[in-house]
Amino acid sequence: MYMNASFAGDKKVGKNILSRAETVLINRYIDRVPLWLETYHLTLMTIGWSAGVIIFGYLTRYNWHWLWATSLMIILQYITDLFDGAVGRKRNTGLIKWGYYMDHFLDYIFLCSLLIGYAFIIPASFFNMYFFILAILGSFMVNSYLAFAATNQFRISYLGIGPTEIRLLFLVIDLTLIIFGKTYIAWSLPTILIITVIGLCITVYRTQKEIWEIDMKKKKKQ
């Protein structure tokens, strides 16, 4: 449908709760990024952060304080992900289609690494529920890519919630586990699953409604 339209994978639509604060952060520190550090370097750093999350997740089996290192990986991945596209636009050195592909593929890899890291410390009785959470979170990403193919508008934030807020949630989970251990896993995982399912249903409903309206407008013009 959009073969003649310009590729818009580098232009995200929709705002998350912390979008304004992120814009201020980028504008303040973008010029401090070293010249030798290019946009693709920042993108590929997610591989290292993902490996770190898995390693520290495994070590957490022996000492809960390794979760501090996991939290550091989350923060570092947020910083490099926040600035990779900004650096490319600022210096006009960005690889738009490569960046779209690698940035979001590695975002998925990082999400999987987080869930793998936490899998080392959750009780075996919760593995089925954990699998469902992975499937639901992955569905949000699938929805974004399918909607982009249909509308040429790339949206990764829904209901004011985007990757930044999800990372913040993982940081809260880390802090909770460090302080209280596994005490709250019994009720927190079911709660997360219920919230994500409801959020996915709302997101898919709104997305299909938007695409429906696009199709109907086209049919009326014909």
Amino acid, single-letter form, for residue 67: L
* pLDDT given at position 115: 86
Q: How far apart are CA 12 and CA 192, in angstroms?
A: 26
pLDDT at 185: 65
127-136 LR contacts (CB < 8 Å, sep 24+): 129/189, 129/190, 129/193, 130/189, 132/193, 133/189, 133/192, 133/193, 133/196, 136/193, 136/196, 136/197, 136/200
- CA 25 to CA 6: how far, in whole Å? 29
Cβ partners under 8 Å of residue 197, min gap 6: 136
If you average pLDDT over every residue of the chain, what do you get? Answer: 85
**Amino acid found at 61:** R
Q: Determine the pLDDT at residue 128.
A: 80
Domains (range + CATH), the chain: 12-221 (1.20.120.1760)
pLDDT at 21 over 50: yes
Structure confidence at residue 4 as a pLDDT band (50, 70, 90): very low
- Structure-block tokens of residue 30: 């973008």
pLDDT, one tens digit per residue, over 100-152 is 899 889 988 998 899 899 888 887 777 787 788 888 888 888 888 888 888 88
2 pLDDT band (50/70/90 cuts)?
very low
Nearest in space to 197 (alpha carbons), one of 133, 142, 146, 147: 133
Q: Is the pLDDT of residue 32 over 80?
A: yes
Predicted TM-score of the model (pTM): 0.84
Task: Say yes or no to pLDDT of 79 above 50.
Answer: yes
Whole-Å CA distances, 83 to 86, 136, 156, 163, 212: 5, 27, 16, 14, 35
Q: Which helix (H) or strand (E) holds 121?
A: none
Write out pLDDT tens, residues 159-217. 778 888 888 888 888 888 888 776 666 667 788 888 889 989 998 999 999 899 988 88
Task: Tell me what pLDDT residue 43 has.
Answer: 92
Over 50: is that where the pLDDT of 220 sits?
Answer: yes
